[in-house]
Amino acid sequence: MKIIEIKNLYKIYNETEVEVKAVNGIDLNFEKGEFAAIVGPSGSGKTTLLNLLGGLDAPTSGDISVDGTSLGKLKSSKLIDFRMNNIGFVFQAYNLIPVLTAKENVEFIMHLQGKSKKERDARTKELLTAVGLEDRINSRPTKLSGGQQQRVAVARALASKPKFVLADEPTANLDSKSTENLLDIMERLNKEEGTTFIFSTHDQRVVNKARRVITIEDGKIISDEKKN
Amino acid sequence: MIWSVSWRNVWRNKMRSGVVITAVSLGVFAGVFAMAFMQGMAKQRVDSAIKTETSHIQIHTPEYVNVNDIENYFTNTEELFENIAADPSTVAVSKRVIVSSIISSAEKGGGVRLIGIEPERESEVTNIKERLIEGNYLEPLKRGLPAVIGNKLAEKLDVRLGSKLVVGLLDVNSQPIYHQFRVSGIFKTASAPYDETTVFVNYSDLTSITKMPKDAAHEMAVLLSDNELSGLMASELKQGFPNLNIMEWFDVLPELKYMTESMDVYMYIFILIILLALGFGIVNTMLMVVLERVKELGMLMAVGMNKRRVFSMIMLETVFLSLTGGVLGLVLGTGFSEFFETHGLDLSGLYKEGLEAMGYDTIVYTNILPEMIITVTLMVIMTGIIASIYPARKALKLNPAEAIRTDN
Ligand SMILES: Nc1ncnc2c1ncn2[C@@H]1O[C@H](COP(=O)(O)OP(=O)(O)O)[C@@H](O)[C@H]1O
Ligand SMILES: [Mg+2]
């Protein structure tokens, strides 16, 4: 089942006369349950593409539709709610609210959605256990390692059961052990919860874990390979 | 959740928030204490004026109000007396005969208001008896008639207890009369002008000297259990005695009421100015906060916090920040005011002559009213809300994609 359809997508930045085609004509589809990596050198347009996919930025032209809803047609206030209810985000850094504990960070979006305490508690416990932080529930982010913080971020992204999770270089600031650990967790959640993961990276070990590898360069797809 | 995040955000940078909170609390403290001080001073002035000069209600003939002439008296005063004394809100009533006269000692002379009072009744209405600094209160003398005078007048006439005074006046038939009194007591009130122009003698002495009827009076004064009750009593009396003129204390001394009311307005303006100055500091602090948290705010907007929530989060943080300082300042201000409400703040070392000349006591008992606390709290909250608008709008202008981008 197709959940994301990208058609003829362009994002052109006009920095003082010089035109930067950060996304330069991309057509791409994602199926439900994928575990896909977007790979490419720095400056190739990975972040721009993920931001467009997540509705954080508007394309210069082209269209993205999620489950039949065209993001370009949503008003900005509707778009925010759409993001809250359908898309999970993991960024390279600054994922967590420093004044909230791990548990509170994970349930934050469920709070915004008005979910009941019972539901929030159950889901938070389940996810923090899944990412191996059941004993750090009440720790604030500053008391957690970089790897642990990213695991909380993954749990937060999954809390409201989004249609897909976008992770822009989630391991960029992690050592190799934490990187492997985070990828294993993401992979397991992908299998167990059936959540679609799309993540960008330029780390070969991360690429190896992906079941689909989309390589881009200068805003264009140069290869798109699926493994078994 | 947003409330809790905002509250905790206040304490993220303890140093910076601490500076703002200290500034706000000092400002509010200064404002509240100044207000309680001015309020206390005004209340004392009013209470003292009521107790020594005006009472709550004054009754005259309409003619006397126009011209303070000796013949404009009214009679049947005992009937009126019983009537008023029977009212539960009445504390005391007294009747007076008031005659303008010239007074002179062996040395000097001057114009005074000669007031004939019934000592017992009068002592319950006005506090002249308590204000005696020398002698006694119109007790019969072996030789001559007793008179109680103010200390300023005593100084002016150069007289002391037992000194002879000659009073010159026109009786009801406009015949000049001279009569001798002796100083039996000297009083001192907070008002120097009053102390220089007022002389008390016995009601019966004065009516017989002036040949007025036995129960005549120019003035009746009523003291009530509360300042607020004067309106009701006045309207009852106006109905019951349409031939008489009924005045409340602020009709007698209108400037007293204006003073209390305008004092309030000035004090609120004073606090408003303090808060305005503090407001700019708060805006500046919150701008720093927004600038510092660009990435975090971008993340929050990305994951689903809408504009309204981002706005309320920053607004709440600003209000919490100001209100913490405000509450601290209010507690300090109220505490100090409560202390000086019972102990009094002695200003005699500072400005004794000036205060007394204007009719103020030199010991000020501050007076803090509950509505002052509520109004100031609301003003602090409003300051927080207004101060948050600009920083919050800055935050709303952030583009989450740009804000969250980590360039590497
Ligand atoms: N706001 C912007 N204004 C101008 N150019 C931009 C902006 N954001 C990104 N770019 C440019 O777009 C290109 C793609 O950037 P990006 O998507 O961040 O690549 P990646 O994430 O693969 O490193 C780069 O050349 C970058 O300089
Ligand atoms: Mg990038």
Going along chain A from its start, the domains and CATH numbers come out as: 2-226 (3.40.50.300)
Q: Answer for the pair A149, A158: CB distance below 8 angstroms, yes or no.
A: no
Q: Name the residue among B1, B300, B406 with its Cβ closest to that of A111.
A: B1
A42 lines ligand 1 (CB under 6 A): yes
Domains of chain B: total: 2
Asked, for residue B82, whether it belongs to a domain, the answer is yes
What is the pLDDT confidence band of residue B408, given thresholds at 50, 70 and 90?
Answer: very low
* Whether residues B298 and B160 fall in one domain: no
The SS3 assignment for A218 reads coil
The pLDDT score that the predictor gives to residue B45 is 83
Cα B408 to ligand 1 centroid, rounded to whole Å: 10
Domain edge (last residue) among B243, B265, B287: B243
> Which of ligand 1's atoms lies nearest the C-alpha of B405?
18
When pLDDT is averaged across residues B33-53 and rounded to a whole number, the result is 86
pLDDT tens sequence across B320-358: 999 999 999 999 999 999 899 888 888 777 766 776 666
Residues 6+ apart with CB under 8 A from B327: B377
pLDDT higher than threshold 90 for residue A30: yes
d(CA B262, CA B254): 12
- pLDDT surpassing 80 at residue A221: yes
Asked if A100 and B401 come within 8 Å (Cβ–Cβ), the reply is: no
Residues B167, B36: one domain?
Answer: no
Q: Is B108 part of a structural domain of the chain?
A: yes
**For the CA of A11, the nearest atom of ligand 1:** 12
Q: Pull the structure tokens for residue B229.
A: 């009750």
Map tokens 């607020």 to a residue. B228
Residue B360 has pLDDT above 80, yes or no: no
Which domain does B265 fall in, by range? Answer: 2-49+257-405
Cβ burial, residue A154 (10 Å; 0-12/13-18/19+): buried
In short, whether A41's Cβ falls inside 6 Å of ligand 1 is no
CB contact under 8 A, A98 and B296: yes
Q: Given the CA of residue B402, which atom of ligand 1 is nearest to it?
A: 1
Cβ contact, residue pair A54, B302, below 8 Å: yes
**What separation in Å is there between the alpha carbon of A54 and the centre of ligand 1?**
16
A57-92 confidence digits (pLDDT tens): 999 999 999 999 999 999 988 999 999 999 999 999
Residue A201 in contact with ligand 1 by CB distance below 6 A: no
Residue type, B99: V
Are residues B333 and B218 located together in one domain of the fold? no
Q: At what angle do helices B254-292 and B14-49 cross, to 10 degrees?
A: 180
Does B56 reside within a domain? no
| A46 CB within 6 A, ligand 1 | yes
Say if residue B79 is in the same domain as residue B125: yes
State whether residue B283 sits within 8 Å of chain A by CB: no
Atom of ligand 1 nearest to the CA of A15: 4
Cα–Cα dist B302/B394, whole Å: 16
Please report the pLDDT score of residue B255 as a whole number. Answer: 85
Contacts of B110 (CB under 8 A, 6+ apart): B102, B103, B104, B153, B156, B157, B196, B197
Which residues is A138 bridged to in the sheet?
none
Summarised one tens digit per residue, pLDDT across range B258-317 is 888 888 888 899 999 999 999 999 999 999 999 999 999 999 999 999 999 999 999 999
Task: Compute, in degrees rounded to 10, the torsion defined by CA atoms B202, B208, B209, B211.
Answer: 140
Indicate which atom in ligand 1 lies nearest the CA of residue A202: 22
- Assess whether B36 and B123 both reside in one domain: no
Q: Is there a single domain that holds both residue B284 and residue B205?
A: no
Cβ of A80 within 8 Å of Cβ of B405? The answer is no
Q: How far is A95 from chain B (nearest CA, A)?
A: 6
| Residues B263 and B158 both lie in one domain | no
B342, part of any domain: yes
CA dihedral B260, B265, B269, B275 (to 10 degrees): 90
Q: Tell me the pLDDT band of A142, cut-offs 50, 70 and 90.
A: very high
Query: If you average pLDDT over residues A45-65, what whole number do you get?
Result: 95
Does residue B118 surpass a pLDDT of 50?
yes
Q: Is B9 on the interface with A (CB under 8 A)?
A: yes
Same domain, residue pair B311 and B382:
yes
Q: Is residue B249 part of a domain?
A: no
A19 lines ligand 1 (CB under 6 A): no
Q: Determine which residue's CA is closest to atom 17 belonging to ligand 1.
A: A45
Pairing state between β B109-117 and B198-202: parallel
- Decide if B276 is inside a domain: yes
In a domain, B270, yes or no: yes
Mean pLDDT of chain B: 91
d(CA A179, CA A172): 8
Q: Do residues B183 and B147 lie in contact, with contact meaning Cβ atoms separated by under 8 Å? A: yes
Name the residue at shortest CA distance from atom 4 of ligand 1: A13
Three-state secondary-structure class, residue B219: strand
Domain boundary among the residues B184, B218, B243 is at B243
For the cut 60, the answer to whether the pLDDT of residue B33 exceeds it is yes
Reported ipTM: the value is 0.94
Are B228 and B267 members of one domain?
A: no
Q: How far is the CA of A26 from the centre of ligand 2 (A)?
A: 17
Say whether B401 and A92 touch across the interface (CB within 8 A). no
User: How confident is residue B226, by pLDDT bands cut at 50, 70 and 90?
Assistant: confident
Domain assignment present for B278: yes
Contacts of A80 (CB under 8 A, 6+ apart): B301, B304, B305, B306, B307
Note whether B239 and B342 are same-domain residues: no
Composition of chain B by helix, strand, coil, percent to 5: 60, 20, 25
Chain B residues inside the 8 Å CB shell of A84: 303-305
Distance from CA of A214 to the nearest CA of B (A): 21
Residues B84, B181 within the same domain: yes
- A116 reaches B (C-beta below 8 A): no
* Assigned token pair, A54: 């997540």
Write out pLDDT tens, residues A86-105: 999 999 988 999 999 999 99
Report which of A113, A94, A114, A96 is spatially closest to residue A104, judged by C-alpha positions: A96
The answer on B177 and B306 residing in a single domain is: no
Q: Could you tell me the pLDDT band of residue B407, with boundaries at 50, 70 and 90?
A: low
| Chain A residues lying within 8 Å of B306, measured CB to CB | 77, 80-81
- The whole-number pLDDT of residue B73 equals 94
- Stronger pLDDT, B313 or B254, i.e. the higher one: B313
Q: Whose CA is nearest to atom 5 of ligand 1?
A: A13
Q: Supply the pLDDT for residue B357.
A: 66
Looking at B214, B243, B272, which one is the last position of a domain?
B243
**Is A156's C-beta closer than 6 angstroms to any atom of ligand 1?**
no
Q: How many CB pairs under 8 A join A and B?
A: 69
